[in-house]
Structure 1
Amino acid sequence: MALSLSSFINPISALLLFILHVNAATVTYEFDIGWVYANPDGMANRPVIGINGKWPIPVISATIGDRIIVNAKNSLGNESTSLHFHGLYMNGTTHMDGPVGVTQCEIAPGSSFTYNFTIDQPGTYWYHSHARGQYPDGLRGAMVIHDPDSPLKGKYDEEVIVTFSDWYHDLMNVLLDGFIRYSNPTGAEPVPKSALVNETQNLTISMEPGKTYLFRMINVGAFAAQYVWFEGHTMQVVEVDGIYTQPEDADMIYITAAQRYSVLITAKNDTDANYAFMGSMDQVYSTKMVQVKSTLTTTQDLFDTIPETLNPNVTGWLVYDDKKDLPAAAPIESFDPFDDFVLIPRDEEKLFDTVDYSFTLDLKMDNLGDGANYAFFNDVTYVTPKVPTLYSALTTGANATNPLVYGEHTNSYILKKDDIVEIVLNNNDPGKHPFHLHGHAFQVVVRSEDEAGNYDPTAPPAMPKTPMRRDTVLVRPDGHIVLRFKADNPGVWLFHCHIEWHVSSGLIATMIEAPLSLQDSLTLPADHLAACKAADTPIAGNAAGNTINVLDLKGQPLPPPRLPSGFTARGIVALVFSVVAAFLGLATIAWYGAAPLSKEEEAKLKREIEEVGPQ
């Protein structure tokens, strides 16, 4: 009998998988998540979310092929939580992805939850809470997956992990209550108090002459992108978001919230001086900068308000000689970062030129009937369903392919196995938005400049033959992007802006990939179901928890009602201030009326009563 080529491939693949399994390790982390105090910018000692009584939280480190087990206990006392392993595809383990209300129930105070998954991708990642608005309170840390067969092997001597972030002095639940509120009808995002590097300031990194270092850089912030540069040194970009790239030199890079870059930096051959490196929060439309009192400041702001005390920059140093001074950062003429759109993946994956399923997401920010500002895709603002979306996919039978069962406010899209999917995103907003897709990396096939307007599919631009690939990408103000990926990972995956204020205000869509395959292959662990019971969250049925008629959404969570026709944000502002003025006026009248009369006023009132006489 003749043997086909596949007869040889399958046993060989199985053998390779067996060898990988034999050589793999199980890496276990015991995480007790609780409150601690910290003062990373030296200006406010505040509660932060730590792990095992410490903050910053630990780095998760493993090798491709390893099994990672994270036993997470919630000791916060007053908040639920979860963990998301940002950038990991979670192949075959979508229930370990971490977003509350999507792939799991919340981990209630006092409850525990085990994340158990096998790593099949190397690179630079991070992990963070995926409960509403929580990770900027400190539950965010680096994650590195090493690769014994890395194409970078032998090209560097040491690794350095560097996180950049923005920092707030108030707790996120307080800030969110003020952000999504009628008194903030324009949706002005809270402005960070400081920029941080490795959750501190004034970081020093020791350098040895002649050595080459792999810097793994991660923006773990809630809001601000950061411009990053190393004085006197050139970066060579070799990885973005876990994707090895062909090397490209860069003097400055731009890292949005949730993006990662790995760069090679070769140290100088002498110890004559130390060198500053900078992270500068993006707060500008203009690129002009000036030097004021040794601090780089911008001339035109993007943040809605700029406190006089805000320093948008954080400085660190490459230290060759710790006995020498740490120099102040030199002023720069302009921001001119490296353009990531030109990056070519080292595996040279070609453009997906045939699309099986394309859909468009039109982004806008608008007000609802409670007066607050929300974020929308196609006029729908995301609202978390009663039943986690994955659990609905597992318990609604053949109806799991009907997007209706996942709720009218989850922006759900059903993807067929192995289809090439295209997302066209039109940003009808004057702000910048970094978009992240769970479970996949995507090809960035079109990315417009600022104010380019909506994508015109009838006149598409020339697309790169080998497009840049990553899992988080910036869409420009009033511009657009076109992304493509292969739906080869059955599961429930979010697509969302990674500005935490916008996630909380509803800028989310849900990809439901091959749900019937999930029903055949996935069984939820007992401790996951126990977490749902502790949180009093239903585990079956549609978005409303209806298990009898899963197409009946009565009782589903709803956003506030629409504004009356013609009502605008300006009108809301006027209304708010009118109401405030009215209350102040009533209060003044009440205060005046309650004040005691003087002797002269008493005498006058007595005379008036006597003149009128009894009625």
Structure 2
Amino acid sequence: MVISLLSMLALAAAGTSAISIPGTASSNSQSPGLSVRDSFHGRNTGNLNKGCQNGPTSRQCWGEYDINTNYYKTIFYTNRTVEYWLTLEEIDCAPDGYQRKCLTANGTMPGPAITANWGDDVVVHVTNNIATNGSAIHWHGLRQLNNNAMDGVPGVTQCPIAPGTSMTYKFHADQYGTSWYHSHFSLQYSNGLYGPLIINGPATADYDEDLGAVFITDWDHPTADEHWATISNFNITFNGSDTGLINGMNTGNCTASNSTKLDRNCVSNGKKFELLFEAGKKYRLRVLNVATEDWVQFSIDNHTLTVMANDFVPIVPYQTSSVLIGMGQRYDVIVEANAPPGDYWLRSNFEQFCMPNAAGPNNITAIVRYNNDSTAMPTSSSVNGAVLGLNFCVDEQPTNLEPWVPVDLDMSKVKAGIQTQQIGPEWVDNGTYLRWSINHGSYMWVDWTNPALGGVLSGNLSAIPVKDNVFQVGANSSSTPSQSNETEWVVLVIEDKTPFTGISHPLHLHGHDFLILATGYEQWTGTTYGWQFTNPPRRDTAQMPANGFMAIAWPLDNPGVWALHCHVAWHSSQGLGASVVESSALIPGKVGGDWACTLNPVCDTWNAWAPTMPYQQSDSGI
């Protein structure tokens, strides 16, 4: 049975705004998501109409489940499939008034929201209409339990989707919260190819309305590909972004007095993104940093933030005036409209200490209004009347990021002992090019025609290209697998061996939330003294301090080939990544069917088109 999304009482609106480029509507005849159908699994069905109902004063409820349900152990099904269509295109856009080429999903930046309920099945049909390149869509932060083939990383889990062809992604929403989908093909997301991924579920604090995603990104007037030609050549530091965008919008300056804007590409002065508050209400904002190279400090003048989730992990709520967000990270915050009615700046200041930036720390803004008729520019001031700024690059304090559902680590379950990896620069071709290495001096440079997952499924790990930078854990790795039914864990210490200071790395692991046992601002001494084993912070993207270390842990319960990489896009393109092969002996039984049915045809069409590709691979590929 197919019903309209509008009739789904349980499916809350995502509320995400995007900039729509006039005259550049998608050529896709399908709406981005207008189909919901029954899908009967016959197992562990959850009924959202029974039990405690989710509402403004009962956000911890979710039908027969609630905020205390451990979704790592309790997988349930709503018996409903939500279906979407995305068309990937290159268009002309001017999000800040300066026209350039952009990559979009369905003609908007950000793309349309992929929205589901906790327990739904999701089907997304992706058509690549980018004429000159392949693509693939990654569902950032999704666990993809036993579903590695749908992770969307070209050269790791699939071949790219060739121009003019399509691929269908299918996954189960066994987590809930805020994330994003984005291209994982080279630097495409830095050119605009991303959108919100919202999975509705319970929350640790009450609110009245969900205003949806607030995307924050840096933005350049040259494309990321044009920048790459310079950055790939022995470049460690960056000149900084031209500006930044909030939900695809910001203002520029095309006036005659601004000589830097006097060219034919400056077509307007742009527009600020706006939110409307009603006095007395509490609003949920889903704040995402999808930048290429910039950390941001998010705040709203004269308002307090109640933080209730980091990445896909609900946390014990805490209050703050601002939150520091690294690339790939998300925070769900509640803002109470309790300030005197007026107009206020919403700020996403670029953190100068993390990455020197030409845009300055205080001009990436949106507007919060209490009166929809107001057109005035805010005159409000930031926290303590000063420009926000820190002098170090870290995540929020670990004591603030306490997961609501506790997960502890028993070191007796770490059978292979503590493993280590090092990050550092490598110069290749007689010092001509900079590469970032991980996995003891190796850097990642995938082969789009030969994904690592295919090599694992063939049963011949030696067939995986060396530059996929494989790091094995679990069964069939260098460690001895346990013979018991108890889930083993891996503990990994990652150290920054960079011989210069000040470059931090937001590290993202696919396929898992990981425990953050420790971070340090110096090299690891080899001891676990001071590590947090009882309910430490847990997320899928975390900040490793410059010249320091980070110790993380995750359970070996999701066989697959999972990318581990830095979310500074330049670093990822320069090779800072690895293919984590988890429990390779179990992978064929979990994902082999998906490869045969879905991914073999994708590889066939890609391999037929690739020899004619006008732009050959010039970076890591991810």
For the residue of structure 2 that corresponds to 1:530, the secondary structure is helix
Partner of 1:382: 444
Comparing 364-373 with 433-442, greater Cα deviation is found at 364-373
1:31 maps to a residue whose letter is L
Equivalent residue, structure 2, for 1:131: 185
Higher mean displacement: 366-375 or 116-125:
366-375
The 3 A distance-change label for structure 1 pair 89 and 21 is closer
Render the CA deviation track for 1:356-414: whole Å, top value 9, x for unaligned. Answer: 23321111113112511110112111121351011101002xx44xxx44333333122
Residues 1:440 and 2:468 are matched in the alignment: no
Among 419, 422, 428, which residue is 1:368 paired with? 428
Give the structure 2 partner of residue 570 of structure 1.
Answer: none
Q: Tell me which of 204, 207, 220 is aligned to 2:277.
A: 207
What secondary structure does 2:308 align onto? strand
Superposed structure 1 runs of 4+ greater than 4 Å apart: 18-22, 309-312, 557-560
- Mapping 1:174-193, distance limit 5 Å: 174-181=226-233, 185-189=234-238, 191-193=240-242
Aligned to 1:126, what secondary structure does the other structure show? strand
Q: Does 1:16 align with 2:8?
A: no
Given that 1:179 and 1:190 are in contact with CA atoms closer than 8 Å, whether structure 2 keeps it comes out as no
Distance (whole Å) between structure 1 residues aligned to residue 608 and residue 149 of structure 2: 16
Residue 340 (structure 1) shift? 3.8
Matched with 2:349 is: 280
1:120-519 alignment runs, 5 A limit: 120-147=174-201, 150-152=202-204, 154-181=206-233, 185-189=234-238, 191-201=240-250, 202-268=272-338, 271=341, 273-284=342-353, 302-303=355-356, 307=358, 313-324=363-374, 325-330=376-381, 331-332=385-386, 334-335=388-389, 339-342=396-399, 343-354=401-412, 355-357=414-416, 358-370=418-430, 371-377=432-438, 378-385=440-447, 386-396=449-459, 399-400=460-461, 404-416=462-474, 418-429=487-498, 430=501, 431-449=503-521, 452=522, 454-458=523-527, 460-463=529-532, 465-519=534-588
Q: Which runs of 5+ in 2 are unaligned?
A: 1-40, 48-74, 251-271, 476-486, 610-616
Which position in structure 2 is the counterpart of 1:528? 599
Structure 1: distance between partners of 2:506 and 2:158? 24
Q: Distance in 2 between matches of 1:227 and 1:81?
A: 31
- The answer on whether the counterparts of 1:210 and 1:268 sit within 8 Å (CA) in structure 2 is yes
Once the two structures are superposed, residues 192-227 of structure 1 have per-residue CA deviations (whole angstroms, 9 ceiling, x without a partner) of 111111111222100011111111100111110101
Report how many aligned residue pairs link the two structures: 496
**Residues of 2 paired with 1:91 and 1:373: CA distance?**
35
Return 341-350 or 405-414, whichever deviates more. Answer: 405-414
2:222 partner letter: D
The farther-off stretch of 466-475 and 195-204 is 195-204
Contact in 1 for aligned 2:186/2:573 (Cα 8 Å): yes
Aligned position for 2:3: none
Q: Would you say the 8 A contact 1:340–1:468 is kept in 2?
A: no
For the 8 Å contact 1:194–1:311, the answer to whether it is kept is: no
Q: Secondary structure at the residue paired with 1:313?
A: coil
Find the aligned partners of 2:465 and 2:530 in 1 and give their Cα distance.
Answer: 35
Distance in structure 2 (CA, Å) of the matches to 1:165 and 1:405: 38
For 1:85 and 1:15, the matched residues in 2 are separated by 25
- Distance across 2 between alignment mates of 1:446 and 1:14: 42
Residues 109 and 194 in structure 2, CA contact (< 8 A), matched pair in contact too: no
User: What residue in structure 1 maps to residue 71 of structure 2?
Assistant: none
Q: 1:363 to 1:312 in 2, by over 3 A?
A: farther
Give how far 1:41 is off. 1.5
Structure 1 residue 419: Cα displacement? 2.2
Contact preservation (8 Å) 2:92, 2:101: yes
Contact 2:520 2:549 in 1 (8 A): yes
Percentage of matched positions with identical amino acids: 25
Matches of 1:525 and 1:49 in 2, distance apart? 30
Kindly name which structure, 1 or 2, has the bigger radius of gyration based on alpha carbons. 1
CA RMSD of aligned residues (A): 2.6
C-alpha displacement of 1:246: 0.5
What secondary structure sits across from 1:104 in the alignment? coil
Q: What amino acid is the match of 2:200?
A: H
2:155–2:446: 8 Å Cα contact kept in structure 1? Answer: yes
Between the aligned partners of 2:208 and 2:420, the Cα distance in structure 1 is 43
Tell me, yes or no, if the aligned pair for 2:46 and 2:119 is still in contact at 8 Å: no
Which residue in the other structure is 2:130 paired with?
76
Helix, strand or coil: the match of 1:268?
A: coil
Give the superposition deviation at 1:537.
7.6
Aligned to 2:261: none
* Shift in CA distance, 312/194, structure 1 to aligned 2, threshold 3 Å: farther
CA contact (8 A) 1:187 1:372 kept: no
Q: Secondary structure at the match of 2:108?
A: coil
Distance in 2 (CA, whole Å) between partners of 1:205 and 1:103 is 39
Cα offset, 1:459, TM superposition: 6.0
2:352–2:389 CA contact under 8 A, matched in 1 = no
1:333 and 1:172 map into 2 onto residues whose CA distance is 29
Task: Pick closer, same or farther for the CA change 1:180–1:329 going to 2, 3 Å.
Answer: farther
Return the alpha-carbon distance in structure 2 between the equivalents of residues 368 and 391 of structure 1.
28
What is the alpha-carbon distance in structure 1 between the residues aligned to residue 222 and residue 87 of structure 2?
23
> Aligned partners of 1:86, 1:52: CA distance in 2, in Å?
19
Contact 1:381 1:559 in 2 (8 A): no
Q: Report the secondary structure of 1:393's partner residue.
A: helix
Q: What code does the residue aligned with 2:91 have? A: V
- Matches of 2:215 and 2:243 in 1, distance apart? 14
Task: Quickly say closer, same or farther: Cα 1:158–1:381, change in 2 above 3 A.
Answer: closer
* Cα offsets for 1:515-550 (capped at 9, x unmatched): 221212321253421221111189xxxxxxxxxxxx
Aligned mates of 1:190, 1:97 — CA distance in 2: 33
Return the alpha-carbon distance in structure 2 between the equivalents of residues 73 and 104 of structure 1. 15
Describe how 1:537-552 pairs up with structure 2 within 5 A: none
Distance 2:580 2:547 in 1: 24
